[in-house]
Amino acid sequence: TKDWNGIDQVVLRSPQGASARVSLHGGQVTSWRSEHGEELLFTSSKAIFKPPKAIRGGIPICFPQFGNGGSLEQHGFARNKIWAIDDDPPPLRPNDSHGKSFVDLILRPSEEDLKCWPHSFEFRLRVSLATDGDLNLISRIRNVYCKPFSFSFAYHTYFSVSDISEVRIEGLETLDYLDNLFQRERFTEQGNAVTFESEVDRVYLSAPNGIAILDHEKKRTFVIRKDGLPDVVVWNPWEKKSKSMGDFGDEEYKQMVCVDGAAIVRPITLKPGEEWTGRVQLKVVPSSFCSDH
């Protein structure tokens, strides 16, 4: 199907009725619905679905730079580009298709990209919807250049929540984090869980591979499993920053939280011919399931 700008998007469906939508704009997942038809990702009502702007919501991919500390535009260029369908991707591990519902996309640098980031790469993304509705993203980035290059990366995942004040994130306790609100100063997490009562903009270092987002009001929990992605970003803009973003509603910060599997603090370096893989699996479960098991 096409979006209203004529950009192709691919819809994936599981036999039980879960679905996901992936746009060639940014290689971005823009919707993930449970088998009950509930939308699980947040997209702003003010989102602009038109390149060269990234879509505010879903899962933008930050590559080859996370944040604005490097020479590139904030979060890199991958999320602003039109990706192509990859008809003949090199084989993945046998269980990486997670059933039949998947799409393979590819991004190669344009002339313009090579001017600001002179490294040739092939970025292959597989998005798949498992039979049970789990959403899996696999990124493979290959150096097809004659010199090594380094990059940082994040699956900037906007989860939909009922009320941010009732949300807690588990799995980050006792970890060190860099706080973007304090010039990336390093702190240690003191709480039993991360909760929200003001703006949060952090990169947690060397996080465990399983993180949970508990939504008390909706009685559901998102479970993120990651592989190849040591760091975790947690972001909620809260009131003041929301008002400063043109493509985000003033009150929408209450209904979202970004929790990203990422590789930021120690950039990934690829030698010529080398490939890196970063995976996330997103699952939603009723909260009672978590406390009972």
Could you say whether residue 121 binds ligand BG6 (CB under 6 A)?
no
102 versus 248: smaller Cβ distance to ligand BG6: 248
241 versus 283: smaller Cβ distance to ligand BG6: 241
- Burial environment of residue 190 by CB neighbours within 10 A (0 to 12, 13 to 18, 19 or more): exposed
| Cβ 67 to ligand BG6 shortest distance, Å | 6
64 versus 67: smaller Cβ distance to ligand BG6: 67
103 versus 256: smaller Cβ distance to ligand BG6: 256
| Cβ 56 to ligand BG6 shortest distance, Å | 7
153 versus 235: smaller Cβ distance to ligand BG6: 235
Asked if residue 186 belongs to a known ligand binding site, the reply is no
Nearest to 27 by CA among 81, 68, 65, 93: 81
Q: Which two tokens stand for residue 226?
A: 């990651």
Q: Binders of ligand BG6: how many residues, by CB under 6 A?
A: 8
41 versus 233: smaller Cβ distance to ligand BG6: 233
Q: Encode burial over 47-78: b for 16+ CB neighbours within 10 A, e otherwise.
A: bebebeebbbbbbbbbbbbbbeebebeebbbb
The torsion angles phi and psi of 234, rounded to 5 degrees, stand at -125, 125
Asked if residue 74 belongs to a known ligand binding site, the reply is yes
**Are 222 and 282 contacting, i.e. CB atoms less than 8 angstroms apart?**
yes
| Cβ 281 to ligand BG6 shortest distance, Å | 21
Could you say whether residue 75 binds ligand BG6 (CB under 6 A)?
yes
Tell me the residue ranges of DSSP E strands in the chain.
9-13, 19-23, 28-33, 61-62, 84-85, 101-107, 121-129, 135-143, 149-155, 158-160, 167-170, 176-179, 185-188, 200-204, 210-215, 220-227, 231-236, 256-270, 275-286
Could you say whether residue 201 binds ligand BG6 (CB under 6 A)?
yes
| Cβ 236 to ligand BG6 shortest distance, Å | 10
Asked if residue 124 belongs to a known ligand binding site, the reply is no
Nearest to 254 by CA among 268, 269, 242: 242
Among 74, 110, 131, 269, binds ligand BG6 (CB under 6 A): 74
d(CA 135, CA 112): 32
Which stretch, 13-21, 67-75, 103-111, 269-277, contacts ligand BG6 (CB under 6 A)?
Answer: 67-75
Interface characters, 232-271, with ligand BG6 (x: CB under 6 A): -x-x------------------------------------
Q: Is 64 helix (H, G, I), strand (E, B) or coil?
A: coil
| Cβ 246 to ligand BG6 shortest distance, Å | 10
| Cβ 252 to ligand BG6 shortest distance, Å | 13
Q: What Rg do the C-alpha atoms of the chain give, in angstroms?
A: 18
Q: For the segment 217-236, give every residue that binds ligand BG6 (CB under 6 A).
A: 233, 235
Amino acid identity at 210: G
| Cβ 40 to ligand BG6 shortest distance, Å | 19
Calculate the dihedral angle through the C-alpha atoms of 85, 44, 202, 242, rounding to the nearest 10 degrees.
150
**Are 103 and 10 contacting, i.e. CB atoms less than 8 angstroms apart?**
yes
28 versus 180: smaller Cβ distance to ligand BG6: 180
Which residues contact ligand BG6 (rule: CB under 6 A)?
Answer: 54, 67, 74-75, 180, 201, 233, 235
Q: Residues annotated as binding site for substrate?
A: 56, 74, 79
